[in-house]
Structure 1
Amino acid sequence: MRVLFTMNPAPGHLFSMVPLAWALHLRGDQVLVAVPQPLHQQVRRAGLTAAVVGGDASFFELWPSGLSLGGNEELDLNVFVALAERTRDDVDALVRAWRPDLLVTEPVEYSGPLAATRAGIPWVLQHWGLPVPEPVHNAALARVEERLSRLYGGTAVDPPALTIDTCPPSLGAVPGGTPMRYVPYNAACTIPGWLLEPSPRPRVCVSMGTVPIPEGVDGLSAAVHGLRELDVEIVVSGAGVHGIAELPADVRRIGWIPHNQVLPGCALFVHHGGAGSSMAALTIGRPQLVMPQMCDQFAIAERLTAAGAARAIPFPQRCAAAVRIEAGKLLSDDGYQARASELAAEIAAMPSPSAVAEILTVR
């Protein structure tokens, strides 16, 4: 079977879909990933084959003029529609030339479902982890309805043949979704020796994700300085690490190491609320301090705190003092760790990507 994956040019969007792509590849299926040029290096690092669609289209090039990233709670889909406008013709041509049997895409990639509908092949929707609440997503879709209509050119896009849901059931599964265990992936690395050694103090990982915006650097700085007032070992990772010119000598700066390798030795994860970071912590079973900074991260923070596995700091209140207070509460209350462990057990009991690949193969 030939399976075409389509996604937006963001590492976090790719990472959540790699395990299913691997599972299909290991079954003997042919897998191709269609993305704009900026994501090709990450696709190749994942051991997958890429095809260019949309040229060098990127989020930062197409982000609406004047719309701030940091602190913006509104889910604005215009950038995703703009990306689909750039990729639509290339994805159509690729589908005609490569002739896939199945197309797999993500919630805000719009050219793939259109191409599948036009070619008469089934398509599958895979969620990243904690899906955006349906009312929020529907409201965002309504704001771009006219632009999507022009993109589709009058074509009524077929509904997905299957919706894959990696959200643990107690956090709000997608109605009618097919559950699949979330398997963390965010590239390979060489693990430093100290990471395998127990820390004499509680280890806390801090990361502000893969999108290097100024607000992420500010949040990272606030987190580090707030945590230094507690008796903890601080480990800083992710895209924003190099945005801080100086870090205290007792803070470890580790760059890009997958969170599923770092978090098992940690007592707490402080992060921006991205879907991948949140799911990595849930999978490992670690409490989270969420400092949301844009888009769906605010909804994710609300869901995690409501579940009892996290605390959150509102964007206007981000500062070292707030981090010290909230992290202290998480580290001193065993209830957060207990709830995080329960959610990790839920995830472990979900069907593996290999099991879901078997379902897709018979379609």
Structure 2
Amino acid sequence: MVPLAWALQSAGHEVRVASEPGFVGSITEAGLTAVPVGPDESMEERLHRIRGESAPKVSAAIPPFLTDSLFDMGEAVREGLPWEEVSWLLGTVLVPGMWIVNDEMVEDLVTFCRFWKPDLVLCDVIAHAGAVAADAVGAAHARMVCWNDLFLRIRRDFLRAQQRQPAGERLDPVREWYAGWARKYGRDFSEEVVAGQFAVNVLPERWRLEPHERTLSMRYVPYNGRSVVPSWLCEAPRRPRVLMTFGISKAPWIDPLGMSIEQVQETLDSVADLDIELVLTLPDEERDQLRRVPENTRIVDFVPMNVLLHSCSAVIHHGGAGGFNGAMVHGIPQLIIEGSVDAIAKRTVLRETGAGLSLTLDEFTGPCVREYVTRLLEEEAFREGAERLRQEALDQPTPGEFVSELERITAEYRSRRSGR
């Protein structure tokens, strides 16, 4: 979102970035204007306040019985999915997160939007409060998709399955949530508010999981926050450089889906004699738990990927959007240790483009990582596949080139709302 915000500001538009207060520093560091909304507490604190001190961590796990079809690419016909399964997924996995993340942001956000009167509200795919506020003040609104729009897919699955249910058995918790806020602000419920009027997607067209009926394409531009180039990056690597990173999967309020420290150690031991420079991002407290660090390994607490990736020959990551998209636009072969929710879909992309390999956590062993990394470095087909994927990504308009299209479609929806 940051490169697009910069592009809009550079074109003369006013931009405000609304978020929980704890994220304000990240916004202002990006040179953007922040609007704090909601309570000044962390997600972990909010979970404990709402659910009690014994609250479980947020889990990104999708039950095995749903994963077979949930991540199929494209707009395949998805008729006939069992009501019990899709209603469970919507009501148990998605809706609780909706109200925990959004409920306490809505009123502050609507108050600000009534004062500031935005023409367009761009919403992260989990920022449902933005859609409510946009509808309340008559702004155009769109979903910003940095990878797979799982919510939109599950929502469409739900609505199809709902039509097969008896009239009295069509409970819809998403509609209830949106309709409650719509009534508060004098609006009627509309499915358009739930799905967005259009979407902005940074993925190449053929790799979009569930495209919105009206999807605008924009190139992914990496942004990693405040960045400093370390001195060791100021010269070309003497050996192939491999990055291993697991990003947000290490956040304390999320059930960890990435490697355990024991698996990290096993990986380091297994690649210790390879002629590579392994750069591992690991917090200091976890580094201290390692028993040994091989000579070919450099451990850093953080290094901005946008200054590191151009010098890498391969990337090992958990399937997060930053790791995948960053490697994609740099044309680097990838090994995904499947830890993110939608890593299954990314596995499909790597397989069909030849841009990399993947392992589930159940398949993981240190020797297997060694084998796959060796293949990524030695087999030319992976570099060729990564370059093909890169070209698909670069064929999309940059944020600067995209602004005029965003201006046009915003004017269209604003005119529709005003009746002009």
TM score, norm. by length of structure 1: 0.85
What letter matches 2:189 in structure 1?
Answer: A
Contact 2:268 2:294 survives alignment (8 Å): no
Q: Does 1:273 align with 2:291?
A: no
Q: In 1, Cα distance between the equivalents of 2:147 and 2:174?
A: 27
Q: Does 1:24 align with 2:8?
A: yes
SS at match of 2:392: helix
Q: In 1, Cα distance between the equivalents of 2:363 and 2:45?
A: 30
Contact 1:19 1:353 survives alignment (8 Å): yes
Q: In 1, Cα distance between the equivalents of 2:405 and 2:44?
A: 37
Q: Paired residue for 1:343, among 389, 396, 399?
A: 389
Deviates more, 1:317-326 or 1:155-164: 155-164
Supply the RMSD in Å over aligned alpha carbons: 2.8
SS at match of 2:6: helix
Cα deviation, residue 287, structure 1: 0.6
SS at match of 1:338: helix
Higher relative contact order (CA 8 A, sep 6+): 1
Gaps of 5+ in 2: 64-88, 163-170, 183-187, 412-420
Deviates more, 1:225-234 or 1:169-178: 169-178
Larger CA Rg, structure 1 vs 2: 2
SS at match of 2:199: strand
Counterpart in the other structure of 1:293: 339
Q: Does 1:192 align with 2:225?
A: no
Per-residue deviation, residues 276-317 of structure 1 (Å, max 9, x unmatched): 210000000001110122422333334333332121111223
Q: Paired residue for 1:48, among 13, 32, 41?
A: 32
Q: Does 1:164 align with 2:200?
A: yes
Contact 2:257 2:340 survives alignment (8 Å): no
Per-residue deviation, residues 308-338 of structure 1 (Å, max 9, x unmatched): 2121111223332221122222222211110
Contact 1:203 1:267 survives alignment (8 Å): yes
Cα deviation, residue 354, structure 1: 1.2
Counterpart in the other structure of 1:92: 110
Contact 2:236 2:311 survives alignment (8 Å): yes
For residues 1-363 of structure 1, the aligned pairs below 5 Å read 17-61=1-45, 65-66=55-56, 69=59, 72-74=61-63, 76-77=93-94, 78-132=96-150, 135-136=153-154, 138=156, 145-146=172-173, 149-153=176-180, 155-157=188-190, 158-159=192-193, 160-172=196-208, 174=211, 176-213=214-251, 214-216=256-258, 218=260, 220-237=264-281, 240=283, 242-245=285-288, 246=290, 248=293, 250=295, 251-362=297-408, 363=411
What letter matches 1:38 in structure 2?
Answer: G
Gaps of 5+ in 1: 1-16
Cα deviation, residue 264, structure 1: 1.2
CA gap of 1:302–1:221, structure 2 versus 1, over 3 A, is farther
Counterpart in the other structure of 1:10: none
What letter matches 1:193 in structure 2?
Answer: S
Cα deviation, residue 148, structure 1: 5.1
TM score, norm. by length of structure 2: 0.74
Deviates more, 1:283-292 or 1:57-66: 57-66
Contact 2:249 2:257 survives alignment (8 Å): no
SS at match of 1:20: helix
Per-residue deviation, residues 174-207 of structure 1 (Å, max 9, x unmatched): 3531111110101132212322322222110011
Q: In 2, Cα distance between the equivalents of 1:187 and 1:34?
A: 17
Q: In 2, Cα distance between the equivalents of 1:61 and 1:79?
A: 14
